[in-house]
Copies of this chain bind each other. A is one copy, B any other.
Amino acid sequence: ASQKLLLLPGDGIGPEIMPEVKKVISWFNENGGMSFETEEGLVGGSAYDAHGQSISEEDMAKAMAADAVIFGAVGGPKWDDVPYEVRPEAGLLRLRKDMQLFANLRPAICYPALADASSLKKDIIEGLDILIVRELTGGVYFGEPKEITDLGNGQKRGVDTQVYDTYEIERISKVAFELARTRNNKVTSMEKRNVMKSGVLWNEVVTQTHGNGYQDVELEHMLADAGGMQLVRWPKQFDVIVTDNLFGDMLSDVAAMLTGSLGMLPSASLGAPDEATGKRKALYEPVHGSAPDIAGTGAANPIAMIASFGMALRYSFEEVEAADKLDKAIAVALDKGLRTKDIASEGQATVSTSEMGDAIVAELSAL
């Protein structure tokens, strides 16, 4: 049976990097014995322009029915003034919420070929390989009340609510512990329990979950601000970091930038396994944004997008060998010196978005 992929390129460079993924999908269909069927939809500003919503009900339904959603990026200055409810990001947030994608996996890996591209010293980041497991459907992103009220006298009040229930913390910690077992067996949980009650609960539930069947994994707790510091000071001390939605947003961006490989980093957002079929809903997207400043110039780096499809092979389709092969093809293209502009050192020759995509496909055939 074929697997259904919904492609949502989005805005900015999204529609420029998605075609490169399609080349890779076709390659696996033609040469890898796979059978992916693709459909496309609109999300973000492009969906708003087409029908006044950041994602249509029709595309939402397709996302719910897909075996995996491959997502580009959303947003840009063009939509800075659209109403809050239909801003580009709302489409992404709705996908995460309605598909119940509570587990966001963000690897921060330093590609050897790019160790010099980081603003950090080479010995600090060379060989870096950490995985941030971010809770994605709770916290201050979705808690109510979330509103601006008029207090009169020219005063307004903006309110957001951070909410976490035991089960939400428990299920994300389990994901972290299980992933740690496939890696270096260490989990660092980050919160602000010295200031936030949700942090107190977070700390308590992670500790309990650890005690219930995960004692073989090393568990460490760190305050989120200290965690940000430690990421900068010595990131290699970490293996898996588990944290809430907002801290995960900040910390994963810092971690991504450390590697010097921002245009290279994929992410996976996963739901719970279906009780009957064991299948998880899933969405895969690059960590980088829509980069409106370079959209249309052919300079965008498609690697994070392609590697996101690699994560789909790994986590949605259990095609671990194919995923390894794709990662390898990317590494070989880099080793051969292919660079898009964002990862080129001064004076180094660069290739375009589609040249990079073609090169990776060529390496797939050569491997």
Please tell me if A45 contacts chain B, counting CB pairs below 8 Å.
no
For chain A, residues 199 to 231, give those with C-beta under 8 angstroms from any C-beta of chain B.
199-202, 224-226, 228-231
Indicate which residue in B119, B146, B163, B228 contacts A158 across the interface (CB closer than 8 Å).
B163
Residues of B within 8 A of A196 (CB): 140, 146, 158, 160
Q: Does A165 contact B (CB under 8 A)?
A: yes
Contact indicator A166/B162 (Cβ below 8 Å):
no
- On chain B, the residues within 8 Å of A143 by CB distance are 159
Among candidates B75, B202, B247, B257, residue contacting A229 with C-beta atoms closer than 8 Å: B257
B159 and A198 within 8 A (CB)? yes
Residues from chain B with a CB closer than 8 A to the CB of A113 are none
Q: Are A228 and B254 in contact (CB under 8 A)?
A: yes
Q: Are B155 and A159 in touch, CB under 8 angstroms? A: no
A262 (CB) vs chain B CBs: closest residue: B229
| Contact among B148, B247, B262 for A197, CB-based, below 8 A | B148
- Min CB distance A142 to B, Å, is 9
Taking CB atoms, residues of chain B closer than 8 Å to A167 are 155
| Min CB–CB distance A81 → chain B (angstroms) | 12
Contact across chains for A162 and B164 when beta carbons are under 8 A apart: no
Any B CB within 8 A of the CB of A154: yes
Indicate whether A233 reaches chain B with its CB closer than 8 angstroms: yes
B residues in contact with A157, CB < 8 Å: 163-166, 201
Q: Knowing A228-B250, A254-B229 touch, does A161 contact B162 (C-beta < 8 A)?
A: yes
In whole angstroms, what is the CA distance A200 to B246 when docked? 16
Give every chain B residue within 8 A of A247 (Cβ-Cβ). Answer: 250
A158 touches B198 (CB 8 A): yes
Q: Tell me the nearest residue of chain B to A122, going by C-beta.
A: B121
Size of the A side of the interface (Cβ < 8 Å), in residues, is 62
Q: List residues of chain B with CB within 8 A of the CB of A87.
A: 194
- Which residues of B sit under 8 angstroms from A254, Cβ to Cβ? 228-229, 231-232, 254
Evaluate whether A151 and B124 lie within 8 angstroms (CB atoms) in the complex, with A192-B249, A197-B146, A225-B249 already known: no
Chain B residues lying within 8 Å of A148, measured Cβ to Cβ, are 197, 200-201
The answer, yes or no, to whether A36 is at the interface (CB within 8 Å) is no
- Chain B residues within 8 Å of A156, by CB: 165-166, 201
**A194–B161 CA distance with the chains assembled, in angstroms:** 15
Q: Does A256 contact B (CB under 8 A)?
A: yes
Complex CA gap A122/B141 in Å reads: 37
A161 to B146, CA, bound (A): 10
Contact indicator per residue, chain A 79-121, by CB within 8 Å of chain B (1) or not (0): 0000010010100010000000000000000000000000111
Q: A119-B124, A146-B197, A155-B166 are in contact. List 16 more A-B contacts (CB 8 A).
A: A84-B200, A119-B232, A143-B159, A148-B197, A148-B201, A155-B165, A157-B201, A158-B163, A158-B198, A158-B200, A158-B202, A160-B161, A226-B289, A228-B228, A229-B262, A232-B254
A interface with B by C-beta (< 8 Å): 75, 84, 87, 89, 93, 119-121, 124, 140-141, 143, 146-148, 151, 154-167, 192, 194-202, 224-226, 228-234, 246-247, 249-251, 253-254, 256-258, 262, 289
27 A-B contacts, Cβ less than 8 Å apart? Answer: A75-B194, A89-B194, A119-B124, A140-B162, A140-B196, A146-B196, A147-B197, A148-B200, A154-B166, A156-B166, A158-B163, A158-B196, A158-B199, A158-B202, A159-B198, A160-B162, A160-B199, A162-B162, A192-B249, A225-B250, A228-B228, A228-B251, A229-B257, A230-B257, A232-B232, A232-B257, A254-B254
Q: Which 4 pairs across A and B sit closest by C-beta, in order of nearness?
A: A158-B201, A158-B198, A229-B257, A232-B257
